[in-house]
């Protein structure tokens, strides 16, 4: 008998050890079938609160709830085997105080089985990060353009373009790193700033719109696969699934309306009665 080899899921140590080495491959995932397809190729699958916009059609991530994050986190865990799975903490679930941050983070980890949570980490969140890490919750930070702060910023725009903003982004990175974050997402900043932060912090940086200077890259999978008409400047489309899906749906509709589908190959027939035994 051959012994079945059990797939080992990546750990926080694997991700932390990638600092300065082969870049980490990260993508978002929100459901089991997609997670199953991405899993063999990715180091990290992020159940991002971007699901509010990508899957649920919300105008921003602000309306995402704990229940939504947990539901999608459970699906991604069921669909993946080896990738390190991180689940976003939604807006309002960690900002108030350390205790509420821990209770909500613990709930996400217990109910999904994920390996870590992610926090959009302004300098104010350093206390929450340290509190969570001390209590066994691995935390990924997120600095620069922070989508949950859209109502303060007045829209999605790159960060660190002025001296004041640059200093704030660097301060966010230092605070998250010193508080114990095992990795930091850097979103929407210039290459030189991303390179400076990557060189300064001890944990891996994962860029999204932050250049190849980072220790890894992440994109929203739906953007990368071309499921939307518009994508941000920093996205490279590796497929055009929007066109493929539209063409396939049009062909299906034509076949249904012309009664070419279902045909004999897709139709059940009555079985011939078996002859009686005598």
Catalytic residue IDs: 187
* Count of C-beta atoms within a 10 Å radius of residue 237: 15
Helix, strand, coil in percent for the chain, rounding step 5: 40, 15, 45
Distinct helix (H) and strand (E) counts, the chain: 11, 8
| Cα–Cα nearest to 9, from 119, 86, 88 | 86
Structure token digits, residue 150? 């859209």
Judge whether 25 and 216 are in contact, CB under 8 Å: yes
User: C-alpha angle 13/19/23, rounded to 5°?
Assistant: 105
Structure token digits, residue 272? 């011939």
Residues in the chain: 278
Q: Distance (Å, rounded) from C-alpha 71 to C-alpha 91?
A: 16
Tokens 């180091």 found at: 43
Judge whether 180 and 141 are in contact, CB under 8 Å: no
Structure token digits, residue 191? 């290459």
Q: Distance (Å, rounded) from C-alpha 180 to C-alpha 48?
A: 21
Tokens 């980072």 found at: 214
Q: Distance (Å, rounded) from C-alpha 253 to C-alpha 231?
A: 28
Judge whether 112 and 77 are in contact, CB under 8 Å: yes
């Amino acid at each position: 008998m051959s012994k079945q080899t059990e797939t080992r899921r990546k750990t926080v140590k694997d991700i932390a050890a990638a600092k300065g080495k082969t870049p980490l491959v990260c993508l978002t995932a929100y459901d089991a079938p997609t997670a199953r397809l991405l899993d063999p190729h990715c180091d990290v699958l992020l159940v991002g609160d971007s699901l509010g916009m990508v899957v649920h059609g919300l105008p921003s991530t602000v309306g995402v709830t704990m229940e939504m994050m947990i539901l999608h986190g459970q699906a991604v865990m069921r669909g993946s085997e080896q990738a390190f799975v991180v689940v976003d903490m939604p807006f309002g679930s960690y900002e108030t105080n350390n205790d509420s941050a821990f209770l909500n983070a613990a709930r996400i980890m217990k109910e999904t089985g994920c390996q870590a949570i992610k926090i959009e980490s302004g300098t104010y969140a350093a206390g929450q990060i340290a509190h969570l890490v001390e209590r066994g919750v691995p935390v990924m930070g997120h600095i620069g353009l922070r989508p949950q702060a859209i109502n303060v910023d007045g829209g999605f725009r790159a960060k660190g373009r002025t001296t004041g903003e640059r200093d704030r982004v660097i301060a966010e990175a230092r605070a998250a790193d010193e508080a114990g974050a095992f990795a930091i997402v850097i979103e929407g900043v210039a290459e030189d700033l991303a390179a400076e932060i990557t060189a300064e912090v001890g944990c891996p940086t994962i860029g999204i719109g932050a250049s190849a200077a980072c220790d890894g890259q992440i994109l929203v999978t739906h953007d990368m696969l071309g499921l939307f008409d518009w994508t941000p400047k920093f996205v490279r489309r590796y497929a055009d699934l929007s066109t493929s899906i539209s063409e396939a749906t049009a062909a299906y509709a034509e076949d249904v309306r012309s009664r070419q589908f279902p045909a004999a190959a897709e139709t059940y027939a009555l079985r011939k009665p078996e002859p009686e035994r005598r």
